[in-house]
Amino acid sequence: MEVTITTENFETLKNGDLPLVVDFWATWCGPCRMIGPIIAELAKEYDGRIVVGKCDVEENDDIAMEFGIRNIPTILFFKNGEVVDKMVGAAAKAKIQEKFEALL
């Protein structure tokens, strides 16, 4: 299941017991819309093992600025509250899934 990342819940999710994957996106972004369904699929597949969040950069620009997000889609991978990996741009499901597996 995907969660919506906001300024209010980000710190709690980032420092939670499970690894966190955050998809930084915007409604007007074509490549973001391309990977959206892939992220949703992976969120279901890894439910209970990885928390998957979507962060709208327009609504939560403070979080995007904190991590220097300049291009979207950008996916950040967190473990123990720290960024351990990053992907910029659209990618195939297999490539994104490799990053999910590396978090476990």
14: β partners: none
29, 43, 51, 75: the active-site residue: 29
Q: To which residue do tokens 């017991």 refer?
A: 17
55 is catalytic: no
Catalytic residue among 22, 32, 39, 69: 32
- Residues noted as catalytic: 29, 32
